[in-house]
Amino acid sequence: MTVVRSPARAPSPRRRAILDAAAGLFAARGFHGTPIEEIGAAVGISGPALYRHFPGKEALLAEMLLDVSERLRAAGDERVTRAAGPQEALDALIRGQIDFALDHPALITVHDRELGNVPEPSRRQVRRLQRLYVEEWVTVLAELYPGAPPPRLRAATHAVFGLLNSTPHSAGELPREAMAVLLHGMARAALATMVNQD
């Protein structure tokens, strides 16, 4: 018998293609609104062929969200340790989130929309990774703005995620780099209000 199920063992191009196509479709029509048939069609195979690559539709979603959460967390982790000081770390986190959101708007959308459809073993894992990522931000912010209570910093972090992840909604309003600069400035300014204690 084979191993239980190693998530990202041999990333065959077919698997990749399926995950990419599914991300777009889930973002556009939602998990329940997307028949497995269409996912197959999007990569040139038809319907049940997906089961040669994933144990099921939910497992596909689970792998997708685990991958996103892990990539975000890992990237954040690396950027923070690479940074010289807290301000630099914060800028790196912001820039990282912006790049990801601009590069993969569909993944961002699915990530905060479909967690409820991930089956339970994986759901907890995704949540854990999300929490770690948030705490990464909170830690940096706490260094930068000591005196601000952590719940406040957590709420502010979520708010900034909302701001940065707005990208899928304002698609095409501005060229990419202009959008990146705009969002970066807004995020920085929004977080700078953490200095006030009121």
Q: Which stretch binds DNA (CB under 7 A): 46-54, 152-160, 164-172, 177-185?
A: 46-54
Applying CB under 7 A, which part among 51-59, 87-95, 122-130, 133-141 lies near DNA?
Answer: 51-59
Residue tagged 């706490």 (tokens): 142
Q: How far apart are the first and last CA of the chain?
A: 62
Query: Which residues have C-beta within 8 Å of that of residue 115, sequence separation ≥ 6?
Result: 65, 123, 126, 127
Q: Is 48 in the site for DNA (CB under 7 A)?
A: yes
| 97's tokens | 């989130």
Looking at 36-168, list the stretches that DSSP marks H as alpha helix, in order from N- to C-terminal side. 36-42, 57-82, 86-103, 105-111, 120-144, 150-164
Site string for a second copy, 155-174 (x = CB under 8 A): xx-xxxxxxxxx--xx--xx
From the CB of 170, what's the least distance to a second copy, in Å? 4
CA nearest neighbour of 135 among 110, 161, 153: 153
Give the nearer residue to DNA in terms of CB position, either 106 or 156: 106
Binding partner of residue 183 among a second copy, DNA, none, CB cut-off 5 to 8 Å per kind: a second copy
For position 9 contacting DNA by CB under 7 A, the verdict is: no
Query: One symbol per residue from 18 to 47: x for binding a second copy (CB under 8 A), - otherwise; what is it?
Result: ----------xxxxxx--------------
Could you say whether residue 197 binds a second copy (CB under 8 A)?
Answer: no
Closest CA to 15 of 4, 23, 25: 23
Tell which one of 46, 87, 170, 193 touches DNA (CB under 7 A).
46
